[in-house]
């Protein structure tokens, strides 16, 4: 029973840290700070627990890769 509780505590800490960092990154969009670095870090932490965060992080990586390589973005993906 202790291990199950420890697992739940670990999951709560990961979720709280991820949402805190993500919220700070979103605030940095209008406040001074490196939002383009902090937001993916928060999503990366949340991606360990949530599929939606993993999917969003994958989409962001794809868009950054296309932007830096000069390719035109595909509207279907």
Query: pLDDT tens-digit profile of 44-56?
Result: 999 999 999 999 9
- The per-residue pLDDT for range 25-51, each reduced to its tens digit, is 999 999 999 998 999 999 999 999 999
For residue 34, is it within any domain?
yes
pLDDT at 75 over 80: no
Give how many domains the chain has, as a whole number: 1
For residue 71, is it within any domain?
no
Residue 39 domain boundaries: 30-57
For residue 48, is it within any domain?
yes
pLDDT at 57 over 80: yes
Residue 71, pLDDT score? 63
The 3 state secondary structure assigned to the chain is CHHHHHHHHHHHHHHHHHHHHHHHHHHCCCCCCCHHHHHHHHHHHHCCCCHHHHHHHHHHHHHHHHHHHCCCCCCCC
């Amino acid at each position: 029973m202790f291990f199950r509780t420890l697992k739940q505590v670990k999951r709560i800490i990961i979720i709280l840290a991820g949402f805190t960092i993500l919220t700070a990154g979103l605030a940095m969009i209008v406040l001074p700070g490196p939002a383009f670095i902090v937001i993916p870090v928060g999503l990366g932490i949340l991606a360990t627990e949530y599929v939606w965060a993993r999917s969003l992080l994958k989409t962001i990586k794809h868009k950054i890769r296309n932007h830096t390589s000069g390719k035109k973005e595909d509207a279907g993906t």
